[in-house]
Amino acid sequence: MQREKIYFGIIGLGLMGKEFGSSLARWCHLLDDGFIPVISGICDKNQETWKWYTENFPGISIKTIDYTELLRSKEIDAIYCAVPHNLHEQIYIDIIRAKKHLLGEKPFGIDKKANENILKAIKENPEVVVRCSSEFPYFPACQQLIKWLKAGKYGRLIEVRVGFHHSSDMDLNKPINWKRMVEINGEYGCMGDLGIHTLHVPFNMGWKPTSVYADLQKIAENRPDGKGGIVPCKTWDNAVLTCRSTDPRTGKEFSMVVETKRMAPGATNNWFIEVYGTEGSATFSSHNPKAFNFLVTSGKEQGWTTIDCGSQSAIPSVTGGIFEFGFSDAFQQMIGAFVQELSGRGNTHPFKNVTPEETMWSHELFTAALESHKSGRKIILEK
């Protein structure tokens, strides 16, 4: 029997648009019997970006610089939207009002107000499935960690440390781009860019911060403008948020440290989670992506155990279980979770995409972090 297809439009054909397209091009990789996602429309203001898509996806019937053309198409069911942050609010709202399902990109609105307006549109259109992209938890070793967390093997939480460290900005000669401009990337800086990635697992566990003390840093004050000049670089480079949260499983408080750093020497793209508890502890880092590390605390001596995980992904794939898993696989698994939701089978997937409500929690946290850094005080967040 032929599998049903679901038709996607992509808005924003840059770095992430291509990653999305590439995942769909090899959908046969996944051993799933839900919808097959197909690209039928593309949109980018910069027509030079179209070539790669038209050369690789014969099924594209709409190419446009005007995203509303995709929204008017009866053929398109869902949109993946990966555009600069200042455009999220208007484009996401228009997508939702056009009744197209949306896999959007973080930070899901340039600021809290924009996020609130997007969530209002979602509330008014409850039949539309809306999720936010975040792929790192889909590494099989991190999925192991999540299973371990859900089984409550940590006992009472002492501390959770989550973070995302980059180092390419250590090159002070790197020309400025929109991700380093406050007007386009947003006031949150590195938090808006990297923050939702770090919070996906904690939020899925119900670990919503109840207070935050923030230490933000602007390190690179200027950058080349790419045209021979030098311009000010005003975004926050690094942020360390020290939070309190309550674990719904035990009702007890714990410390949560959230680090988003663009200037972390030596870290190419290091996403990590460390969970320390009274009965057990566990860690995962994309720096060593096969390793699920855990220890059991029983008495004085505790030793770490490392399990070398292969590619046993949440949605099974054709890759042999002992082989290596990578970023593109995690990204495809994330889209797989979204497609399963669209197929009405979201409940069968062990780990869901970031929900709109979780993006709201992140905006509350980053807005409070800006206030904390400015005032030098700890800020209390609503429970």
Ligand X SMILES: NC(=O)c1ccc[n+]([C@@H]2O[C@H](COP(=O)([O-])OP(=O)(O)OC[C@H]3O[C@@H](n4cnc5c(N)ncnc54)[C@H](O)[C@@H]3O)[C@@H](O)[C@H]2O)c1
Please, what is the minimum distance in Å from the beta carbon of residue 265 to ligand X?
21
Provide, rounded to whole angstroms, the least separation between the CB of residue 189 and ligand X.
12
Q: What DSSP character marks residue 55? A: H
| CB closer to ligand X, 255 vs 328 | 328
Q: Which residues contact 4 (CB under 8 A, 6 or more apart)?
A: 35, 36, 343
Residues 67 and 43: their CA atoms lie apart, in Å, by 6
Question: How far, in Å, are 193, 232, 257, 367, 369 from residue 262 at the CA level?
Answer: 9, 17, 16, 19, 17
Q: Which amino acid is at 102?
A: L
Q: Which CB atom, from 45 or from 63, has the smaller least distance to ligand X?
A: 45
196 backbone φψ class: left, alpha, beta (φ>0; ψ -120 to 50): alpha
Q: Kindly state the smallest distance separating residue 68's Cβ from ligand X, in Å.
A: 10
Residues with Cβ within 8 Å of residue 298, at least 6 apart in sequence: 279
**CA end-to-end span of the chain, whole Å?**
49
Length of the chain: 383
- In the complex, the smallest distance separating the C-beta of residue 177 from ligand X, rounded to whole angstroms, is 7
Give 54 or 302: the residue with its C-beta nearer to ligand X: 54
Return the residue nearest ligand X (CB atom): 14
Taking a C-beta distance cutoff of 8 angstroms, is the pair 356, 132 a contact? yes
CB of 3 to ligand X, least distance (A): 26
Residues that bind ligand X (CB under 6 A): 11-17, 43-46, 49, 67, 82-85, 87, 105-106, 133, 135, 193
Nearer to ligand X, 41 or 202 (CB): 41
Minimum CB–partner distance for residue 238 and ligand X (Å): 17
Handedness of CA 299, 303, 309, 315 (dihedral sign): positive
Closer residue to ligand X (CB): 286 or 340:
286
Q: Which is nearer to ligand X, 87 or 296 (CB)?
A: 87
